[in-house]
Amino acid sequence: MNQCCPSKSLCNDPANPVQNFSSEAPDLVEFIGFNTGWDNSQGGYNTPPIGSDWGAAGCESTCISTISQADADQCAANQQLACADTSWHGVNNFLNDSENCVSLCPDGIPFNFTIPAGSILALSRAQANAIAASFACANAALRKICLSALTPSETCANSAYSGQIVASGGLASSTSNSWAIVSGSLPGGLHFPAIAGRTLTISGTPTVAGTYPFTMRITAPNGDFMQKQFSLCVVDITPSALPDATVGTAYTGQLTATACANQQQSWQVTSGALPPGLVIDEQTGKITGTPTGPVGTIKFTVTFQDQAS
C-alpha cells in the first residue's frame, strides 16, 4: 500500500484506503505515506545530487535532508497531511511511537533499524505506527550491512600474514568506511587501516602465539554500522632446534605447537629427512628411535597442521 503515490505526496488509493486504524472517527480516504521503491541509481539511498543534500517539495516548504531521500520525502508527506484538511490542522495530529525492525544477515547476526517516535504524521496513531513499522522494515532490508568470516583465520608466528573481512550490502562505501576493534585485540605485529572500503585487510607479522578473539565494527559514512566477533589463531612450533643425538644411542625429542582447536593434529617432515633410525609420530610430534648415522648436522622441516586449518 505504500507505493500508491509515485510522486511521494497526497493521493487517493480507492483499492486500499487507510481507515479504521483506531477508535477515532473513520479516517479520510486520502492515503499519506512514503514510497519504499526509491531508485538507487538516482541517488535515492546512496548519494545525494552532486553538491547538495536530498530534497523534496512540501506544501509548506522544501524539505532538506542530510540523511536520505526517504527522509526528505517523509517530511514532505507529513506536510501534505497537515495541509490536506485545514479543519483539523494542528488539532488532530497523530505521531508514531518508536518502531524497530530486524533483518538478519546470512550468518544470523541481526541488523536493526528504528524509526524514532514522532517521525511520522498520520490520521491516527495506529496508522502512524503502521507506516513507521513498514518504513523501518524497508530500511532494515535495504540498509543491512553484513560481514564475512575472517579469511584465513590461522597463521604462524613470525610469518607474514594477510587476512580479509568483506562487508556487503547496505550503504557501506567503496572507499571510506570506518573500521575499528570494539573489544579484544589483534596479535602483536598486525594492523589494519582505520578507513577502508568494503574489504578490510589485516596484515603484518604476528610475534606471539595464541588465540586472539576480537570484535570488529564497520561504520558507513551515513552512520549505519555492523559488528561481528572474529578469532585469529597464531601457531608456533617449539623448540626451533632439537637436542643433539648420538649414533647408536636411543633418542627422544618432542615438538610442541600452539594448536588453534582441540582437534586432531598432524606432524609431517615436509623437506629434508630425519637421520636414519629416527621417526616422528604424526599425532604427537614426538621423534624417537636410535640414529645410525651419519655424523654431523642434519637439517629438515616439520610441518604442523590441526584439523581446523
pLDDT of 228-270, one tens digit each?
Answer: 999 999 988 888 888 999 999 999 999 988 767 655 678 999 9
Q: Which residues of 255-280 are buried (b: 16+ CB within 10 A; e: fewer)?
A: bebbbbeeeebebebeeeebbebbeb
Look at residues 145, 2, 9, 1 and name the one whose alpha carbon lies nearest to residue 76: 9
146-235 shares its CATH topology with 237-306: yes
Mean pLDDT in residue range 133-149:
92
The residues near 234 (Cβ < 8 Å, ≥ 6 apart) are 154, 155, 156, 157, 187, 206, 208, 209, 210, 211, 212, 258
Nine-digit cell at 16? 486500499
Distance between CA atoms of residues 178 and 97, nearest Å: 31
* pTM for this entry: 0.68
Q: Thinking of the domain 146-235, which architecture would CATH place it in?
A: Sandwich (2.60)
Distance between CA atoms of residues 80 and 74, nearest Å: 10
Percent with pLDDT over 70 in the chain: 76
Q: Measured between alpha carbons, how far is residue 221 from residues 18, 172, 194 in Å? A: 36, 7, 13
Mean pLDDT in residue range 285-296:
91
Class of CATH domain 237-306: mainly beta
Distance between CA atoms of residues 35 and 134, nearest Å: 10
Summarize pLDDT for 39-87 with one digit per residue, the tens: 333 334 444 554 557 788 877 778 887 767 777 777 777 777 667 655 5
Which pLDDT value is given to residue 21?
Answer: 32
Give the residue, 127 or 203, on which the prediction is more confident: 203
Instruction: Say how many Å lie between the first and final Cα of the chain, rounded.
Output: 51
CA 43 remoteness from chain centre: 23
Strand order in the sheet with 278-280: 251-254, 286-289, 278-280
Segments making up each domain of the chain, as ranges: 11-143, 146-235, 237-306
